[in-house]
């Protein structure tokens, strides 16, 4: 049974639909990311789960109980805010202790749980520091400890790493994942950073303009994007216009001088998308000419002109010879590496 | 190049250091001319002699100081001055802080309107605002008293003019914008998500106000309190109009000594004492506030 369930949740701000028909069921212990550009409704959805915003339509259930009837202060969710929202007039320990006080936890147990929570995020010895005297990363850890110490049914993270520099962000990602695995708290992360979503989550919900574009595992979403938006938003991708010629079986997919066996159930104009790192240089395939190449250390990035438009190719720097600029090459990829979608609304 | 430039830098170092002093000179001259010199002259004046027939004599005696410190009339007057100021401060804090909090939670449109309503009176002279109270409550002819009496609710008018209550209420009313602004500035610094954070941890609305919001706006309340207290203790128009001759405070007494009795030296003692007392209280409170909140709001 679903642990946390969102059933056709919608939120309208005046005539503007911030979230539309959002349905998702989350298993206990799962790590879910809401991924999308700013203004896609991911934070609004999170705030509806937290109870700071009431949905216009639809229901949210936690362990079968309708959350709409539960006041935000009684939902028992742990939330880490983008700004951390620490209490500046309280020390780190007092910040973490606050939620336990509100639950009437006895003092002895409170002290024990607070120091355990601070130890978990690696802040032992910082109990008496005020937030203003801590670095961004340390404040972030206090916020995480404060949210986790109340043993929340669901942990909600609202862009928690976006205020950290790149190196600290990577460290925190690894740490966040480890802590979540150990504690086993069901977690929802809101982020616009695809790498963060992919490296942390069990499943990703890709959102755009208030709607769900795709729900799936990181591999799923990266390898088999359901929509053009998902393909564009997660990593780089090359798109070629092609045509599936029927009705002979098996149908052929044709783009310029290149052709392959078409996947079943498609006909007419289609879009073929292939990730740059899946394209290889070969003696046969799509004809292309190298426009430019740039060395990136562990890989080479090639920009190529093909019969079907521009294409990017990433090749690992394995020490072997690489094609030169203006050199004519042929691009090839395995059938599994391409995803084919109908184009222009034709199903 | 660098070895040649080094001595040049050394020789230019001294004139360069004078630039900041030259830049503060105009302001410093205004300050010395308009504040320091009159202040020193007032202090000197307070040691001069005065008599009915010979006027001010430029001698150095302690007569005026001894008079002020020995006559309980002055002690009572100073006690009244600071009691009025303290009461007005408490009233502005009790009403101004919630007012600022409500203001901060309004939608931007209404907030603009109400902010204008709160700050608007600052554009009107204190005398006009205080006279408003006199028009409403002045004896039998005051508008409110007239209304209440003709409606049969009251048989005798509310005594407001020339009462302590009247002066304190009018002072609090006149000083209210300073408190609201000060608290509002403190509220603006609060993370807008902080109430949500407290709520998610299980805090109810009262707890959020008491444990999260109030401690964070306390510095604003205290600094607003310092402003209101010092302005109320040195206020002239309001105690002069509402308090009249009967409820004299330090500033109205000094005024009377200077312009009615023409005993300038005695007036100078009162003015200097008021200044010293205010400086001590304000600096003391400020140091207290800063020490108390240094760790938190650096």
Query: Tell me: the pLDDT tens digits for B183-204?
Result: 999 999 999 999 999 999 999 9
Reported in sequence order, the residue ranges of A37-118 that DSSP labels E, i.e. its strands, are 57-62, 65-66, 78-80
Same domain, A199 and A250: no
Size of interface A-B (CB pairs under 8 A): 66
Same domain, A125 and A170: yes
pLDDT at site B298: 53
| Owning domain of residue A80 | 4-228
Same domain, A242 and A214: no
CB A72 to CB B196 under 8 A?
Answer: yes
- B298 vs A contacts (CB less than 8 Å): 132-133
Please state the φ and ψ torsions of residue B278, each to the nearest 5 degrees.
-65, -45
Please, are residues B239 and B226 in contact by the beta-carbon 8 Å criterion? no
Answer whether residue B137 is part of any domain: yes
Distance CA A242, CA B216 (A): 63
Last residue of a domain, one of A228, A263, A278: A228
Answer whether residue B17 is part of any domain: no
Distance CA A143, CA A203 (A): 24
Q: Which of B193, B194, B202 sits opposite A73 (nearest CB)?
A: B202
Q: Which of B197, B201, B295 sits opposite A130 (nearest CB)?
A: B295
Same domain, A243 and A336: yes
Same domain, A258 and A195: no
Name the closest residue on chain B to residue A74, using Cα atoms: B202
Angle separating helix axes B164-188 and B72-105, nearest 10 degrees:
40
Answer whether residue A38 is part of any domain: yes
| pLDDT, tens only, A235-265 | 888 888 888 876 666 777 877 777 788 777 7
Same domain, A55 and A153: yes
Please, are residues A300 and A315 in contact by the beta-carbon 8 Å criterion? yes
| B216 has a chain A CB within 8 A of its CB | yes
pLDDT at site B4: 45
- A74 vs B contacts (CB less than 8 Å): 202
A324: CATH: 2.40.50.140
CB B200 to CB A75 under 8 A?
Answer: yes
Same domain, A197 and A272: no
Answer whether residue B208 is part of any domain: yes
Answer whether residue B25 is part of any domain: no
pLDDT above 80 (res A196)? yes
The question of ipTM being above 0.85 is answered as no
CB B196 to CB A79 under 8 A?
Answer: yes
pLDDT above 50 (res B1)? no
| B215 has a chain A CB within 8 A of its CB | yes
Q: Which of A99, A130, A132 sits opposite B201 (nearest CB)?
A: A99
**How close A165 gets to chain B, by Cα (Å)?**
21
| B2 Cβ neighbours under 8 A, 6+ residues apart | none
Average pLDDT, chain A: 89
**Paired strand residues for B80:** none
| Owning domain of residue B153 | 72-293
Answer whether residue A187 is part of any domain: yes
Q: Average of pLDDT values for A92-114?
A: 96
Last residue of a domain, one of A228, A254, A279: A228
- B297 vs A contacts (CB less than 8 Å): 88, 132
Last residue of a domain, one of A209, A228, A247: A228
Answer whether residue A347 is part of any domain: no
Question: How many domains does the structure of chain A reveal?
Answer: 2
Answer whether residue B232 is part of any domain: yes
Distance CA A239, CA A91 (A): 53
B77: CATH: 1.10.3720.10
Residue A5, CA distances (Å) to A9, A27, A60, A191, B86 in order: 10, 9, 6, 20, 57
Same domain, A241 and A119: no
Name the closest residue on chain B to residue A104, using Cα atoms: B202
Question: How many domains does the structure of chain B reveal?
Answer: 1
| B46 Cβ neighbours under 8 A, 6+ residues apart | B64, B65, B265, B268, B269, B271, B272
pLDDT above 90 (res B6)? no
Same domain, A73 and A220: yes
| pLDDT, tens only, B226-239 | 999 999 999 999 99
Answer whether residue B63 is part of any domain: no
pTM passes above 0.90: no
A125: CATH: 3.40.50.300
Answer whether residue A327 is part of any domain: yes
| pLDDT, tens only, B99-147 | 999 999 999 999 999 989 888 888 888 898 888 888 888 777 788 888 8
Answer whether residue B201 is part of any domain: yes
pLDDT at site A29: 93
| B217 Cβ neighbours under 8 A, 6+ residues apart | B97, B100, B101, B183, B186, B187, B190
Q: Which of B194, B207, B211 sits opposite A85 (nearest CB)?
A: B194
Same domain, A128 and A245: no
Answer whether residue B52 is part of any domain: no
């Amino acid at each position: 049974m679903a642990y946390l369930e969102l059933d056709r949740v919608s939120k309208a701000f005046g005539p503007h639909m911030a979230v539309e028909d959002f349905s998702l069921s989350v298993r206990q212990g799962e790590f879910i990311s809401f991924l999308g550009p700013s203004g896609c409704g991911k934070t609004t959805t999170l705030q509806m789960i937290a109870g700071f915003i009431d949905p216009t339509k639809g229901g949210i259930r936690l362990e079968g109980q309708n959350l709409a009837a539960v006041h935000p202060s009684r939902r028992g969710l742990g939330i880490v805010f983008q700004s951390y929202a620490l209490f500046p007039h309280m020390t780190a320990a007092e910040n973490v202790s606050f939620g336990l006080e509100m639950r009437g936890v006895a003092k002895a147990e409170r002290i024990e749980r607070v120091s355990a929570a601070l130890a978990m995020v690696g802040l032992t010895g910082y109990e008496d520091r005020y937030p203003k005297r801590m670095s961004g990363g340390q404040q972030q850890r206090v916020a995480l400890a404060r949210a986790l110490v109340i043993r929340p049914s669901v942990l909600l993270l609202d862009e928690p790493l976006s205020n950290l520099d790149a190196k600290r962000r990577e460290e925190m990602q690894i740490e966040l994942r480890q802590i979540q695995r150990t504690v086993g708290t069901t977690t929802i992360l809101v982020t616009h950073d695809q790498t963060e979503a992919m490296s942390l989550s069990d499943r990703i919900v890709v959102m755009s303009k208030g709607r769900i574009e795709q729900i799936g595992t990181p591999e799923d979403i990266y390898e088999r994007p359901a929509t053009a938006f998902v393909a564009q938003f997660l990593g780089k991708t090359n798109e070629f216009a092609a045509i599936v010629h029927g009705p002979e079986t098996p149908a052929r997919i044709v783009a310029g001088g290149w052709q392959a066996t078409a996947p079943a159930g498609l006909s007419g104009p289609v879009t073929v998308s292939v990730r740059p790192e899946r394209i290889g240089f070969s003696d046969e395939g799509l004809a292309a000419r190298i426009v430019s190449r740039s060395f990136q250390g562990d890989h080479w990035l090639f920009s190529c002109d093909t019969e079907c438009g521009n294409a990017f190719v990433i090749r690992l720097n394995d020490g072997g010879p690489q094609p030169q600029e203006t050199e004519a090459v042929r691009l090839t990829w395995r059938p599994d590496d391409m995803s084919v979608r109908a184009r222009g609304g034709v199903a | 190049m660098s070895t040649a430039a080094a001595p040049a830098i050394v020789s230019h170092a001294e004139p360069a250091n004078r630039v900041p002093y030259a830049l503060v000179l105009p302001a410093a001259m205004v300050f010395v001319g308009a504040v320091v010199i009159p202040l020193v002259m007032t202090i000197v004046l307070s040691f001069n002699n005065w008599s009915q027939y010979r006027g001010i004599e430029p001698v150095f005696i302690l007569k005026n100081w001894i008079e002020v410190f020995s006559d309980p009339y002055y002690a009572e007057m100073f006690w009244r001055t600071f009691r009025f100021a303290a009461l007005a401060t408490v009233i502005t804090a009790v009403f101004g802080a919630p007012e600022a909090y409500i203001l901060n939670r309004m939608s931007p449109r209404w907030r603009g309107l109400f902010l204008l309503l709160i700050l608007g009176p600052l554009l009107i002279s204190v005398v006009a605002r205080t006279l408003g109270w006199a028009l409403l409550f002045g004896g039998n002819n005051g508008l409110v008293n007239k209304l209440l009496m003709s409606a049969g609710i009251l048989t005798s008018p509310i005594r407001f003019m020339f009462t302590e209550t009247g002066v304190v209420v009018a002072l609090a009313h006149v000083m209210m914008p300073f408190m609201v602004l000060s608290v509002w500035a403190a509220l603006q610094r609060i993370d807008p998500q902080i109430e949500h954070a407290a709520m998610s941890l299980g805090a109810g609305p009262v707890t959020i106000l008491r444990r999260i919001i109030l401690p964070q706006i306390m510095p604003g309340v205290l600094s607003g309190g310092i402003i209101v207290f010092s302005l109320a203790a040195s206020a002239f128009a309001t105690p002069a109009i509402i308090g009249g001759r009967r409820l004299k405070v330090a500033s109205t007494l000094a005024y009377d000594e200077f312009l009615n009795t023409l005993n300038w030296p005695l007036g100078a003692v009162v003015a200097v004492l008021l200044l010293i007392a205010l400086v001590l209280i304000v600096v003391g409170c400020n140091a207290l506030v800063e020490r108390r909140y240094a760790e938190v709001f650096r």
